[in-house]
Chain A
Amino acid sequence: MHITREFKGKARPDAATRDRLPPGQFVTSDFPILTAGPTQRTGLNDWTLSVQLGGKLLARWDWKEFAALPQTEMKTDIHCVTKWSKLDTRWRGVTIDDLLQAAGLAESPAGFVMAHCDGGYSTNYTIADLIDRRAMVATHYEDSPLPASHGGPARMLVPHLYFWKSAKWVRRLAFKEQNVPGFWESLGYHLRGDPWREQRYSGDE
């Protein structure tokens, strides 16, 4: 550890907040927007979500059908790799567990998932990181439809991983046997991205 001369920092977060902050993060009340390119604006009439297994189409929902799937609310902290964290955010959507069940899978497959999004973005996960009601395809934020700037109509929400994993504008989930790096994971970011282990970049831990 290298002490920085004259650096005092600002008011320390209280103990309760500190326990909820992964290493290197700070709390913001803002909701920053980070996107590698232009905002995607897919209309609800053109929107579908597909699930693929081993390259084969398993299920596809249009907006109406998707909205009829079981809805789950989630209140959670989110952590961006650019260092901000936001506490107690509230979301609504369809958990990956419910999605798999609706796709006709009684048991979740083993292996990995790639989320594919409008605009060409992608990100990879282990299936274990998406099930047990820890992740969803979210359509609502704080009781309102998700705005396009924050990934609407629908984004991934995988709050126990860095927020680049909560991919905006998701359209397709491809379940597969190999763990293939997604967009940022191919460009120097960590394959898994657990904020509590500070897995920011390729080679971290």
Chain B
Amino acid sequence: MNGPLRWLLATVSQLHEETAGVKTISFDVPGWRGHMAGQHVDIRLTAEDGYVAQRSYSLASPAGTDPRIQLTVERVDDGEVSPFLLDELRVGDSIELRGPIGGYFTWSPGTAGPLMLIAGGSGIAPLMSMLRTRALASSRATARLLYSSRSERHIIYRGELDRLRRARDGFVLTHTLTREVPDGWTGERGRIGRPMLMQRGFAPRERPHVFVCGPTPFVDAIADHLVAIGHEESSIRTERFGPTGESK
């Protein structure tokens, strides 16, 4: 490692509403040491009385050393930090941040083998970093994204994903909608199960690198399906967030 991860002062340069309840926050972070696609940061908020809250968020911006980084944050209704980030934070504000963190849920364009991404809701953020990194590197590594959203209006990065798809550079995009499906919808419908993984994903024999990110029950179910249809456990990397629904 390159020495301790120091707290840096990150200044908000742009706020962009992706969907209702989801914003992308762009920061300027002087001293940022750069990151790989899939890594995350810790942020630290301090109230006037000294009370501190820390949380982790995935980096959505592409890998590299650019000190302008982006986080995509979804509101957790009874949360303490995400409502502040979405409702109170203004361009020009500064918060403390350190990173990058995590060296396992990462992908770089030099990696041999296909890239298979499976996202649930705002779990798209670190996977978007991988797709952006891939596009910037003009990588020809084949990539497939299977992205599950509640409804059309919940799809994050929709326009950009369409542009990446239209580049016809080996990236295949599949959306699935789990709750509301509009008339004329041409994507998949319903939760991601084994048939959808087999039809829309890479086959185990193609030895893809698989990244799954989303709410805990989503990731648990998908990881089990992937093992059941023959994917190597060691090829499946997961990142879970949110409640498990278990109080015990």
A residues within 8 Å of B by Cβ?
Answer: 1-10, 12, 23-26, 29-39, 82-83, 119-120, 141-142, 144, 149, 183-184, 186-188, 200-204
| CB atoms of A37 and B223 under 8 A apart | yes
Residues of A within 8 A of B103 (CB): 186-188
B113 → A minimal CB distance (Å)? 17
| CB atoms of A2 and B104 under 8 A apart | no
The distance in angstroms between the C-alpha atoms of A3 and B46, with both chains bound, is 5
3 shortest interchain CB distances as A-B pairs: A203-B4, A187-B103, A38-B223
Q: Tell me which of B5, B46, B54, B246 contacts A83 (CB under 8 A).
A: B54
If over half of B's interface residues share one DSSP class (helix, strand or loop), that class is named, otherwise mixed; here it is mixed
A107 → B minimal CB distance (Å)? 36
B residues within 8 Å of A by Cβ?
Answer: 1, 3-5, 9, 42, 44-48, 50-56, 80, 84, 88, 90, 93-96, 101-105, 216, 220, 223-224, 226-227, 233-234, 236-238, 240, 243-248
Which of B48, B93, B234, B245 has most chain A Cβ within 10 Å? Answer: B48
| CB atoms of B101 and A188 under 8 A apart | yes
Residues of B within 8 A of A24 (CB): 44, 52, 54
If over half of A's interface residues share one DSSP class (helix, strand or loop), that class is named, otherwise mixed; here it is loop
Contact flag A4-B247 (CB < 8 Å), given A24-B52, A36-B238, A119-B233: no
Offer 7 A-B interface pairs, CB within 8 angstroms, sorted by A. Answer: A4-B46, A5-B88, A7-B84, A31-B248, A120-B233, A142-B248, A144-B248
Residues of B within 8 A of A10 (CB): 80
Residues of A within 8 A of B227 (CB): 38
Contact flag A9-B80 (CB < 8 Å), given A39-B220, A203-B4: yes
The distance in angstroms between the C-alpha atoms of A166 and B202, with both chains bound, is 34
The distance in angstroms between the C-alpha atoms of A197 and B98, with both chains bound, is 17
The distance in angstroms between the C-alpha atoms of A184 and B5, with both chains bound, is 16
Residues of B within 8 A of A7 (CB): 45-47, 53, 84, 88
Q: Tell me which of A1, A26, A187 contacts B53 (CB under 8 A).
A: A26
| CB atoms of B233 and A38 under 8 A apart | yes
| CB atoms of A9 and B105 under 8 A apart | no
Q: Tell me which of B46, B101, B233 contacts A37 (CB under 8 A).
A: B233
B56 → A minimal CB distance (Å)? 6
Using CB atoms, name the residue of chain B closest to A28: B243
Residues of A within 8 A of B3 (CB): 203
The distance in angstroms between the C-alpha atoms of A39 and B88, with both chains bound, is 38
Using CB atoms, name the residue of chain B closest to A1: B46
| CB atoms of B50 and A6 under 8 A apart | no
B59 → A minimal CB distance (Å)? 14
A133 → B minimal CB distance (Å)? 24
The distance in angstroms between the C-alpha atoms of A140 and B162, with both chains bound, is 48
The distance in angstroms between the C-alpha atoms of A38 and B236, with both chains bound, is 7
| CB atoms of A83 and B56 under 8 A apart | yes
| CB atoms of B9 and A2 under 8 A apart | yes
| CB atoms of A33 and B56 under 8 A apart | no
Residues of B within 8 A of A83 (CB): 54-56
